[in-house]
Amino acid sequence: MPSQPNVSSGPAGPQAPPSRTPQAGNSHRPKVVSNFDRFWARVTEGRELSELWSQFRRDAQTGYQFYQKDFRADEPPGQPKWKQFVDKAKALMWALLEKLTPARRVLLLVGVVLLILPSGGAHFGSGHHEFEFSTFNFQFWGGLALFILLMLEIADRVVMKRDLEIARDIQSWLLPATPPLIPGLTIAFATRPANTVAGDYYDVFVRAATSPEEQKVLFAVADVAGKSIPAALLMATFQASLKTLSSTPCSLKELVAAMNRYACSNSQSGLRFTTAFLAEFDPGTREMNYINAGHNNPMVRRSSGAVERLDHGGVPIGIQQDANYDEGAITLASGDWLVIFTDGLVEAVNQFAEEYGETRLLAVLQTNAGIAPDLMLQRMIAEVNMFVGSTPQHDDITCMLIKVE
């Protein structure tokens, strides 16, 4: 911010020279304010105080829920409130300590103890000749110990954040950036991870065929059990197996069965499973075969306004090696909508622990059926954001919209 010129408002003529001290102070004030503004803008990234407070509340809720998982237990009946508070505080402290390495636990305890202890000192003399010699400042060393601990944890977080950003970039390469051009279809899709990386997967691609007449389009939306890095790794495995197996000539049912057998060999006895919806669309006949492997039932909104659910299929992929999958079939017509989504969309909760639900999603679809899929998707996400408010996102959100022209 440029400094303003000094303008005198008094009458012209000989006058006593004005004091330069206030003017000097005023001339430096804009520069000081400007430096502080730049510093504050860099610290806050331009956010308002209300935004910072909302972000702090979300972080505090997420952090408490993270630690609460380790000490959540039923409270014994009849305990006084103060005893419950003390027990929760102790459990929270242990949950915090167990997240640290043994050396850092000791450093944390030492820092807390030093902060509590009174500083040592000695007094000599009397009256105006009294001297005080400080022998040991416990608070200073306690604060220093906690500061060192904070620096160590920040270093770990920075390294982890860098690795996660690399993983996010790699994961983005596995997902299509823009919808492919399919004759007779308009497609839009979007995903929003709960963390840096996600366990949701979506894709649209043309399967290899011996002739152009046999080419079919594959729609895929999947949700790996869990979140963050473990789910992201399994999502990459799912994507690799889908692309590899779909390149061989086989039916949709054979494709899903082969993917399930492969997943079962790496699913830790069914603990790491994947819900998925896979569909094969013939652009010439507009017929679509599909298999719903334990996924949320997609919606087909007909041009008449009627809604159908696609529920033929079987158990999630990776649970039962010899699972049998039932294949459903449907014919799409001009003006129809196909909505495929993961549970993070309909199970998004607000501050009152209410779920967004499929009813609200269907209402948005019915109200805006005449617009393009990309605009429809924007309105759906906006509706979810408005419903959720400042409540932290607890699951990955993915949605694919397909409109038949």
Compute CA 67 distance to the chain's CA centroid, rounded to the nearest angstrom.
18
Is there a domain that residue 150 lies in? yes
Q: Residues 223, 332: one domain?
A: yes
pLDDT value of position 140: 87
Is there a domain that residue 111 lies in? yes
Is there a domain that residue 274 lies in? yes
Strand ranges in 232-354 using DSSP code E only, listed in sequence order: 274-282, 287-293, 299-301, 307-309, 313-314, 328-331, 337-341
Q: Residues 269, 373: one domain?
A: yes
pLDDT value of position 211: 58
* Residue 129 pLDDT greater than 80, yes or no: no
Q: Quick count: other Cβ atoms within 10 Å of Cβ 155?
A: 10
* Residue 269 pLDDT greater than 90, yes or no: no
Q: Which tops the pLDDT comparison, 232 or 297? A: 297
pLDDT value of position 33: 67
Taking the CA of residue 103 as centre, how many other CA atoms within 13 Å lie in the half-sphere pointing to its CB? Answer: 4
* Residue 276 pLDDT greater than 90, yes or no: yes
Q: Considering its fold, how many domains does the chain have in total?
A: 2
pLDDT value of position 242: 94
348 DSSP assignment: -
Burial annotation 103-132 (CB, 10 A radius, 16+ → b, else e): ebeebbeebeebeeeeeeeeeeeeeeeeee
* Residue 404 pLDDT greater than 70, yes or no: yes
Q: Residues 71, 198: one domain?
A: no
Q: What distance in Å separates the CA atoms of residue 20 and residue 27, rounded to the nearest whole number?
A: 10
pLDDT value of position 331: 96
pLDDT value of position 153: 87
Q: In which band, very low, low, confident or very high, does the pLDDT at 60 lie, cut at 50, 70 and 90?
A: confident
87-96, 111-120, 203-212: range with highest mean pLDDT: 111-120
Q: Residues 220, 367: one domain?
A: yes
Q: Which distant-in-sequence residues (6+ apart) come within 8 Å of 61 by Cβ?
A: 392
Range of the domain at 253: 175-404
* Residue 14 pLDDT greater than 70, yes or no: no
Is there a domain that residue 258 lies in? yes
Note the pLDDT tens digit of each residue in 86-104: 777 777 778 778 788 888 8
3-17, 162-176, 258-272, 311-325: range with highest mean pLDDT: 311-325
pLDDT value of position 28: 55
Note the pLDDT tens digit of each residue in 218-254: 999 999 987 778 888 888 899 999 999 998 888 999 9
Is there a domain that residue 148 lies in? yes
Q: Residues 76, 223: one domain?
A: no
Q: Residues 163, 179: one domain?
A: no
255 DSSP assignment: H
Q: Which residues pair with 307 in a beta bridge?
A: 301
**Where residue 271 sits, what CATH number does that domain have?**
3.60.40.10
Note the pLDDT tens digit of each residue in 335-361: 999 999 999 999 999 988 899 999 999
The radius of gyration of the chain from alpha carbons, rounded to an integer in Å, stands at: 31
Mean pLDDT value across residues 72-97: 72
Q: Residues 153, 222: one domain?
A: no
Q: What distance in Å separates the CA atoms of residue 291 and residue 222, rounded to the nearest whole number?
A: 12
pLDDT value of position 137: 82
Q: Residues 202, 312: one domain?
A: yes
* Residue 209 pLDDT greater than 80, yes or no: no
Q: Residues 228, 339: one domain?
A: yes
Q: Which tops the pLDDT comparison, 391 or 87? A: 391
* Residue 16 pLDDT greater than 50, yes or no: no
Is there a domain that residue 323 lies in? yes
* Residue 179 pLDDT greater than 60, yes or no: yes
Is there a domain that residue 20 lies in? no
Mean pLDDT value across residues 273-280: 95
- Residue whose token pair is 């009256």: 127
* Residue 9 pLDDT greater than 50, yes or no: no
Q: How many residues does the chain have?
A: 405
Mean pLDDT value across residues 182-189: 93
Q: In which band, very low, low, confident or very high, does the pLDDT at 386 lie, cut at 50, 70 and 90?
A: very high
Q: Residues 321, 215: one domain?
A: yes
Q: What distance in Å separates the CA atoms of residue 253 and residue 354, rounded to the nearest whole number?
A: 37
pLDDT value of position 92: 74
pLDDT value of position 42: 83
Q: What is the DSSP string of 306-323?
A: -EEE---EESPBTS-TT-
Q: Residues 372, 286: one domain?
A: yes
395 DSSP assignment: S
pLDDT value of position 155: 87
Q: Residues 101, 247: one domain?
A: no
pLDDT value of position 210: 52
Q: In which band, very low, low, confident or very high, does the pLDDT at 66 lie, cut at 50, 70 and 90?
A: low
* Residue 303 pLDDT greater than 90, yes or no: yes
pLDDT value of position 15: 45
Mean pLDDT value across residues 193-218: 81
Is there a domain that residue 226 lies in? yes
Q: In which band, very low, low, confident or very high, does the pLDDT at 36 lie, cut at 50, 70 and 90?
A: confident
